[in-house]
Amino acid sequence: MPASRLRLPVDPPRGWPRFDERLRALAVTARLGRVLGIAIGVCFVTGLLSHYQYQPWSWLPEPAHPSWGYRFTQGVHVTTGIASIPLLLVKLWSVYPRLFAWPPARSLVHALERLSVGLLVAVALVEFTTGFLNVLAWYPWPWPFVAVHRFLGYLLVGSVLLHVAVKLPAIREALARPVGAGEPVAVTGLSRRGLLAATGAGVALVVTTTVGQSVGRLEPLALLAPRRRDRAPQHVPVNKTAAQARVRRVGPDWALVVDGPRPFTLPLAELEVLAGAQARLPIACVEGWSVDAHWRGVRLMDVVHRAGGDADSTVHLRSLQPHGAYARSTISGSQLAAALLATHLNGERLDLDHGYPVRLIAPDRAGVLNTKWLARVEIR
Amino acid sequence: MTRGRLVLGAAGIAFILFGTFRLLTEIPVPALEGLATWLVIAVAVHDGVLAPVTALGGYGLNRLLPPRARRYVSGALVVGVGISVITVPLVLRQGTQPAAKALLQQHYAVHLGWLWAGIGLAAALLYAARVIRDARRS
C-alpha cells in the first residue's frame, strides 16, 4: 500500500528527529548484528542444555563425561549473555535512526515487519537484563524466572531468525563490502572501523572482568564478577546457605536412611569411617560460577549395592531442607556410577553451608542438583 | 536464496509462536501482565531515555571537542559503556547476600573507577601517540 493511500505527508513533520548516519551505517550494523546473532545462538543452545539438566528424558540421562561439561556450557551461557549486553546496546544505537523512518510504514507487511523488530528489541532487552539480574539473585518481577527466561529465549531466537530473513539481502551486501566503503574520506571523529574496534574492546573488557567466576585462573582480573571463590568457605561459593534452607547442624545421633530392596541406616560415625573414595570434580552453578574442588566421601554405588540396587537403578536423594525445589534430586546412569556421597571438601570436613553432614557430588551436573544436607537415599 | 530466506523466516515465526504458546499456557495471567509491562517499559526506557541521551551526548561531544580528540574520547566511551551498565545493578545489590555465598562481596564502584581510569589512560596514550605521529608527518 503506497504511503499516499495512508494519507501521510510525503515529508516528515517539522521537528522530526534527524541523525548523522555516517557512523550508524549498515556496514557497522551488519557486522555488529553478525556477532550478536552468533552470541544469541550460543546462549540459546547452552541455555537449552542447562534446562535439560533439570528435566532430562528418562531414556537419555545426563552423561558423566566430560565432568566439566556443565561447567563449560553454563559458563559459556552466562559469559556470552553478559558480553551481549554492550553488543546489544551498540547495535541498537546503530539502528536508532530507523525508529524515525518516514513514512513509519510503507505497507501492511512493512508494518508487521517493524512490529516484529519491536518484539525483537523488547525481548532482547528484557531477556539479557533479567538474565543478568538472576545472576545477582535479584528478582524484582512478578513471573517465575526459569520458565519465562526459557520461553523468551524461543521468542528471541525466533525474532532474530525472522529479522535475518527479512534483512538478508541488505546484510549480505553490507558484509560483502569493506566496512569503510562509502565513508567520507575526511573522517571527523570516530571512524566505523574505530567504532567496531572500541565495541570489541568493550566486550573484551566485560568478559575479562567477569569470566573469572567461571575460569579460576582469571579470578585475579574478575573485578566485576558477581562471585569470587577466594571469599567463600572452603574456597567454594554457596548457592543457598543452611540458614536460607532452614537446616540446622545435625547431632552425632544422626543417620542417613537408605531405602531399597534391602533398607538400612548409615550412622554418622560409620559414614565418616567409610569415606575413603576421592574425586576431583567441579561444582558448576546455573548462575555461571564454577569451581574445581577435591571431594572425599562414600561412593554412592557402594550404598546402592548394599541396599540391593545395581547400576541400572534410579536413585532419589532427599535433603534435610524442609522446602524448596532442590530439596530432592534424582540420579541414574553414568552420573550415578561416578557419584560420591561427599563428607569432605578440599581436605576439610564439609562446612554446614556446603551440606554437612553429607551431600551428593557427581560429574557434569548442575550445582543445585548435587543435593546438600542429605537425609534419605531411595533406590528404585 | 529466496528459499533460504523463506525457511529462515518460517523457522523464526515457528519459534515465536512456540514461545508465545508456552508463555500463554504455562504462565499465570498476573505474571504475564507483569512481563508485558516490562517489555513495554524496556523499549520505552531504551528508545525514550537511553538512546536520546546518548545522541545528545554525541552532539555535545561534536560541539565541544576537535575531531582528533573526539575520536579517542568517543572510543573510550564506547569501551566503557558495557562495564558501566553491568556495574549499576552490581552496586545496587552489593552486600545484600550472606557472606558464605561469596556473592556481591566486591567494591564494584571502586573497581569501575579503576577500570575507567585505565580506559582513560589508554585513550590518552593513543591520542598522544597520534598527535606525535601527525606532528612528524607535517
Contacts of A85 in chain B (CB under 8 A): 82, 85-86
Identity of the amino acid at A63: P
Q: In this predicted structure, what is the pLDDT of residue A185?
A: 61
Domain span holding position A43: 3-226
What are the domain boundaries of chain B? Answer: 66-138
Interhelix angle for A69-95 vs A26-54, to 10°? 150
Are A208 and A135 within one domain? yes
Asked if residue A164 and residue A20 are part of one domain, the reply reads yes
The dihedral sign for the CA sequence A137, A141, A142, A146: negative
Segment 43-62 of chain B within 8 Å of chain A by CB = 43, 46-47, 50-51, 54-55, 61-62
Q: Nearest-CA residue of chain B relative to A19?
A: B55
Q: Which of A198, A226, A254 is the last residue of a domain?
A: A226
A224 touches chain B (CB under 8 A): yes
The 10s digit of each residue's pLDDT in A15-50 is: 888 887 788 999 999 999 999 999 999 999 999 999
pLDDT in tens, B60-79: 998 999 989 999 999 999 99
Give the model's pLDDT for residue A228: 87
Q: Are B83 and A82 within 8 A, CB to CB?
A: no
pLDDT of residue A3: 47
- Nearest Cα neighbor of B72 from B112, B125, B136 is B125
Residue A190 has pLDDT above 80, yes or no: yes
A261/chain B closest Cα distance in angstroms: 38
pLDDT of residue A6: 55
Mean pLDDT value across residues A70-89: 98
Chain B neighbors of A224, CB-CB under 8 A = 83, 86-87, 90, 106, 108, 111-112, 115
∠ Cα A106 A108 B9 (to 5°): 105
Distant-in-sequence contacts of A185-189, Cβ < 8 A, 24+ apart: A187/B67, A188/B67, A188/B70, A189/A23, A189/B61, A189/B62, A189/B67, A189/B70, A189/B71, A189/B74
Q: Per the structure, how many domains does chain A have?
A: 2
Same domain, A7 and A63: yes
Tell me the CATH number at A337. Answer: 3.90.420.10
Asked if A22 and A144 sit in the same domain, the reply is yes
State yes or no: pLDDT of A92 exceeds 90. yes
Q: Are residues A309 and A169 in the same domain?
A: no
**Which of B15, B32, B96 lies at the smallest CB-CB distance from A154?**
B15
Question: Does residue A284 carry a pLDDT above 50?
Answer: yes
- The one-letter amino acid code at A166 reads V
Across the interface, do A231 and B102 touch by the CB < 8 Å criterion? yes
Cα A42 to the center of its chain, rounded Å: 11
- B84 touches A at CB < 8 Å: no
Q: Are A335 and A63 in contact (CB under 8 A)?
A: yes
In DSSP terms, A328 is beta-bridged to A318
ipTM reported for the complex, 2 dp: 0.96
Bridge partner list, B117: none
Q: Which of A195, A203, A24, A125 is nearest to B47 (CA)?
A: A125
pLDDT category at A189 given cuts 50, 70, 90 is: confident
Average pLDDT along chain B: 95
CB contact under 8 A, A85 and B86: yes
Nearest-by-Cβ selection for A237 from B1, B89, B102: B102
A190 alpha-carbon distance from chain centroid: 34
The pLDDT score that the predictor gives to residue A184 is: 76
Residue A241 and residue A219 in one domain: no
Model confidence pLDDT, tens digit, residues A200-237: 999 999 999 999 999 999 999 999 999 988 779 999 99
- Residue B85, C-alpha cell as written in the block: 551498565
- DSSP assignment of A122-161 equals HHHHHHHHHHHHHHTT---SSS-HHHHHHHHHHHHHHHHH
Pick the last residue of a domain from A167, A197, A226.
Answer: A226
**Pairwise CB contact (< 8 Å): B9 & A229:** no
* A254/A173 same-domain check: no
**Same-domain status, A204 and A250:** no
The pLDDT score that the predictor gives to residue A350 is 96
Shared-domain flag, residues A218 and A269: no
Is B93–A137 a contact, with Cβ atoms under 8 angstroms apart? yes
Phi and psi at residue A318, to the nearest 5°: -120, 145
Query: Chain B within 8 Å of A146 (Cβ-Cβ)?
Result: no
Asked if the Cβ–Cβ distance from B78 to A90 is below 8 Å, we say yes
A242 with A317, same domain: the answer is: yes
Say whether both A178 and A258 belong to one domain.
Answer: no
Does A190 reach chain B within 8 Å, measured CB to CB? Answer: yes
* H or E segment and range at residue A165: helix A145-176
Residue of chain B with shortest Cα separation from A163: B9
Query: CB of A364 within 8 Å of any CB in chain B?
Result: no
From residue A237, give the alpha-carbon distance in Å to each of A213, A364, B19. Answer: 10, 18, 34
- Looking at chain B, which residue has its C-alpha nearest residue A206? B83
For range A125-149, the mean pLDDT: 97
What is the per-residue pLDDT for A187?
A: 60
B-chain residues near A96 (CB < 8 A) = 47, 51, 55
Q: Nearest chain B Cα to A240, which residue?
A: B101
Class of residue A77 by CB neighbours under 10 A (exposed 0-12, middle 13-18, buried 19+) = buried
Domain co-membership, A194 together with A240: no
Cell of B6: 523463506
CA distance B11 to A154: 11
Q: What is the pLDDT of residue A20?
A: 77
B12 touches chain A (CB under 8 A): yes
